[in-house]
Amino acid sequence: MTKRATIYFDPDVHKALRVKAANTETSVSGLVNRAVRQLLEEDREDLEAIAERLAEPTITYEALLKDLKANGKI
């Protein structure tokens, strides 16, 4: 079941959405839903990556620089 929401776009963004919707034979709502889903998926992936790395040891910036220099990366 879909929910209704009021969203205010800058005029140029709204025009671009209308043009893209017409060119892709979809609705502005469909475009916005797809874009929001993509952003939320990226956030979910980022949060999973962070959770996986929580147990990794931390190092100081200075130690990182020293390691990069020692390995010829900078």
Q: Assess if residue 52 is contained within a domain.
A: yes
pLDDT of residue 37: 97
Q: In the prediction, which pLDDT does 74 show?
A: 93
Which residue range(s) make up the domain with 24? Answer: 11-70
For the chain, how many structural domains are there in total? 1
Q: Would you write out the chain's pLDDT as a tens digit for each of its 74 residues? A: 999 999 999 999 999 999 999 999 999 999 999 999 999 999 999 999 999 999 999 999 999 999 999 999 99
Q: Is residue 48 part of a domain?
A: yes
Q: Assess if residue 40 is contained within a domain.
A: yes
In a domain, 54, yes or no: yes
| Residue 39 maps to a domain | yes
Give the per-residue pLDDT at 32.
97
Three-state secondary structure call for residue 8: coil
Q: Which amino acid is at 74?
A: I
Q: Is residue 46 part of a domain?
A: yes
Q: CA-CA distance, 6 to 50, in Å (whole number)? A: 33
Answer yes or no: is 20 within a domain: yes
**Is 6 part of any domain?**
no
**C-alpha to C-alpha distance for 65 and 70, rounded to whole angstroms:** 8
